[in-house]
Amino acid sequence: MSGQSVGIIYKHDYEPARSEASRLSDWFSARGIEPFAEEMEAEALVNISRHKLSAIPNTVNWVVVLGGDGTMLGAARMLGRYGLPILGVNLGGLGFLTGIPLERLYPIIEMMIEERLQVEYRVMLENRVMRNGEEIIRFHVLNDVVINKRTLARIIDLDVTINDEFLTTFRADGLITATPTGSTAYNLSAGGPILYPTMETFVLTPICPFTLTNRPIIIPDTAVIRIRMGKPTKERAILTFDGQVGFDFYYGDELIISKSYEKIKLLTPPDHSYFKLLRNKLMWGGATYSK
């Protein structure tokens, strides 16, 4: 175990997570594994300029995230691109990404050290915004990128092309582009399909479309999606990355979405079942299926 190290990221401003991080740090230290603990600062979740910063070295052997899916998304943006295996521990809330309950933490951690956990590779989205022919932002997300209207009384027109072939103009409150991992987030609330998390696809889901025949569409993750506002307007829309980071989107801007070269490595125990997770989290079929 000599020379091994671990990163511990815990939920912002949440005392149970802070206490558990301290306890876990002591546990690792007692076994000769150097811990690096860091609180997920609120600014790191919402500020584009902070999303790449972390006090945890990118050379640690593992990363343990204590919190909920929001904390996991922030950790994925900070450290996941280095190919570090990430273990998500749920400290309350829905927890699709942080699937390990707290009561199983230490047995699972021992399995992690012994390399007995499975690895799931999750695709990410690369998002680029072009303005006047110049790239003004590039951002990678694990869940989704959403274009939303700002004005309550109006809908927006969004012209969408797939691999340079025109798809349609969505007249809607907005449009979600989600990964399979993000299919159980905003996409699901908007009536989109649930995708198995390791599928190599994306889903486009309009939000409250004006034309009811505008339905979600699944496309291969090899596709390049381009989105522009369809009608001249002085009003802004807003881009939201992973439901946490916001960015203004103007008429004339172009959002280019493609598969990221970065993939997230999630650690799961051998008895992990995605279908069981769905049954429990979405309460399908009642308590009978939670066993």
Where exactly are the structural domains of the chain? 5-117+269-290, 125-260
pLDDT at 41: 76
Residues with Cβ within 8 Å of 54's Cβ and at least 6 positions away in sequence, in order, are 7, 38, 78, 79
- Give the whole-angstrom CA distance, residue 223 versus residue 156: 24
CA 136 to each of CA 128, 132, 162, 225, 234: distance values in angstroms, whole numbers, following the listed order = 8, 9, 22, 17, 19
- Give the whole-angstrom CA distance, residue 21 versus residue 37: 7
Is 211 annotated in a binding site? The answer is no
Q: What is the token pair recorded at 261?
A: 């070269």
Is 61 annotated in a binding site? The answer is no
- Give the whole-angstrom CA distance, residue 180 versus residue 73: 14
- For residue 68, the one-letter residue type is G
pLDDT at 127: 96
Ranges of residues in the chain with a pLDDT under 50 are 1, 49-52, 287-291
Are 188 and 278 in contact, with CB atoms under 8 Å apart?
A: no
Is 157 part of the annotated catalytic residue set? no
Is 171 annotated in a binding site? The answer is yes
pLDDT at 280: 83
Are 137 and 129 in contact, with CB atoms under 8 Å apart?
A: yes
pLDDT at 291: 39
Phi, psi of 61 (to 5 degrees): -75, -35
Which CATH code of 3.40.50.10330, 3.20.20.70, 3.60.20.10, 3.40.309.10 fits the domain covering 5-117+269-290? 3.40.50.10330
13, 69, 164, 221: the catalytic one is 69
Strands (E), 95-195: 100-101, 118-131, 134-141, 144-149, 156-162, 165-172, 174-178
Under DSSP, the state recorded for 29 is H
Domains 5-117+269-290 and 125-260 agree in fold: no
Is 118 annotated in a binding site? The answer is no
Phi, psi of 70 (to 5 degrees): -65, -40
- Give the whole-angstrom CA distance, residue 17 versus residue 285: 32
Is 143 annotated in a binding site? The answer is yes
Residues with Cβ within 8 Å of 278's Cβ and at least 6 positions away in sequence, in order, are 184, 194, 284
Residues with Cβ within 8 Å of 30's Cβ and at least 6 positions away in sequence, in order, are none
Is 173 annotated in a binding site? The answer is yes
Are 276 and 287 in contact, with CB atoms under 8 Å apart?
A: no
Q: What is the token pair recorded at 175?
A: 């449009």
Q: What is the token pair recorded at 73?
A: 């998304």
Is 5 annotated in a binding site? The answer is no
Q: What is the token pair recorded at 127?
A: 């998002």
CATH superfamily of the 125-260 domain: Probable inorganic polyphosphate/atp-NAD kinase; domain 2 (2.60.200.30)
Alpha carbons within 13 angstroms on the beta-carbon side of residue 125 total: 33
pLDDT tens, residue by residue, 178-195: 999 999 999 999 999 999
